[in-house]
Structure 1
Amino acid sequence: MAGRSSVPSEQRVFSLVLALVVSPEGLTKRELLSSVYGYADRYVPGEPSAALDRQFERDKDQLRALGIQIDTLDSPLEPGNNQLTRYRIAKDRLEFPPELQFSERELVLLRLAAFAWREGSLSAESRRAAMKLEALGAGLELQHLGVAPSLGTAEPAAAPLQRAIDEGRTVRFAYALPGRESALQRHVAPLRLHRLDGRWHLISWDLERSAERTFLLSRISGPVRVGNERFDPELRERTEHALAELIALRTERRAQLRVRRGGLAESRLASRADAVTPVAEDPARVDLELGLLDWHILADELVGYGAEVSVISPAELRDLVVAGLRAVLADHGGGHRA
């Protein structure tokens, strides 16, 4: 018998809404229970679960109480068969009415709220749910959905680093660099956490090299060790200079990409692009120009989009993406065809 789920209700309900919106043809209860995060961990094929059915009904009631109308579509082959009934949420019912306008201040607050949501724990689970929905034929098109949620994993290094920043204490951690087999040990005064280019960075003062250093949190491997040693508070004055250099680097490094319209790549990359240009000879594609901080990080992201994106320039980035795609091909047993 399926056990009680530890999934927070708001994450389960969000995943249910996502499933119902991105499937224009609707999904049956069985398809929802077997694929949506919060249900799938308790769903056993062929085994009835009264508790799971009751949870599904309560969640539907909760959505209706919030004013979200769920459509039910009878099967044309067997009207009245509840097992074949399909559920969906019409996207136009979630869109803002045209007469609704926001002031500049309200838009700023909405962006901050969206930023806070993006940085929450709702991440890998929703990504897995989206992949399952695509496998069911939901045709997940974020461009048509009207939102492009950035579902990234939480940074485990963030909490101890922020505590060390607040308390003015030094930290030690292992830092992995591309092309190196072993991580390097770092001993720094952490000055500020800053998000740029879609990723979290630590602006710091390297105590061993007596220099400003910026680290990607995603490359910190293992635990962050917060020491008892306190750093000189005057080091905090270097933060703005280090941040300015980081922004200048992003402005200097440029990439030209060609992406498929309506896909995940466009939804994620267009919001970071400085220029978006339609491709005259190919209406299904669009060219993006964006700044970046790290060739390897962007290359890893582009590999994940597969055929949705190609690199126009620079050659360094294109070579990294090609190498990444070849590595994926080799991992899946296709190395002999490369």
Structure 2
Amino acid sequence: MSRRKTERLLNLVICLLATRRPLSAEQIRQAVPGYDRDGDEAFQRMFERDKNELREIGIPIDVVRDPWEDEPGYRIERQSYELPEITLEADEAAVLGLAAQVWQRASLAEAASGALLKLRAGGIETHQDVGALELRVDTRDPAFPSLWEAVRDRRVVRFDYRSAGSENVRTRTVEPWGVVSRRGRWYLAGFDRDRQAPRAFRVSRITGEVATLGRPGLVEVPAGVDLRGMTAFPDEPMEERAATIRVRQGTCEGLRQLARSVTQGQDGWDEAELVFSDPERLAGWMASLGADVQVVSPPDAREAVIRRLKGALT
């Protein structure tokens, strides 16, 4: 969000909180900096977007219709806006701080840090310092954000899926029940409409974009469903192998630290040997490093990276 927009939304909230009587749209336009420079149509569109955004984050804007006035008025009731006093026990605050650390590198990092910031602003200490314990949730899989949103909104999804041990890709239509992490991998659990049965799908095997079907709220999660039980697959045997990776000089210090060996090159690239077991997990990491790495071998790891990059472009 731009600084100008942030200031405009903040000014709008202050204006609607401070007024003793409902303000018309024109009065708001004159009182709130950021609206006065736009034409009538531009102002109306911007004002509608701003009202929707504030409501989406939980700020209640009341619309008051006066029979003696042609236009409705707007205000924010202070008692509806203000939260009751929040108190947390020490163990509850510690859990919140730890949860925010878990999501630090994930797609929910911004929401997690924003929640902690709001709690601190209200005088609640969240105890993020948990000593040597450091947890992370890895959600580099491109499909994860769309799946998480679909689970949240209870919307049907459709995606292309590559089965284990096969290069065959088939389209699946799924009613998502939840996204579960198990042994370092993410799974989507839900009802597979194609097979007419509950199924779980490894998120890293989803290729391309995830499409949503129908309106929100269509998916009903069965009572008592065991999502973790649905992802309790037998362990897939994966032997450790070595990948040869070209690394641009002066970059990717973390990869260099984990590599078994790094050979300095003469063309601006070094060659690293990295031990791995799951080509999909390796591909997710390498794809996140962008143009600073090139996977040379083995072929399945290289092809997994190519699939990730093509999926990000589609």
In which range does the TM-score fall when normalised by the shorter chain?
0.3 to 0.5
Structure with bigger helix share is: 1
Normalising by structure 1, we get a TM-score of 0.37
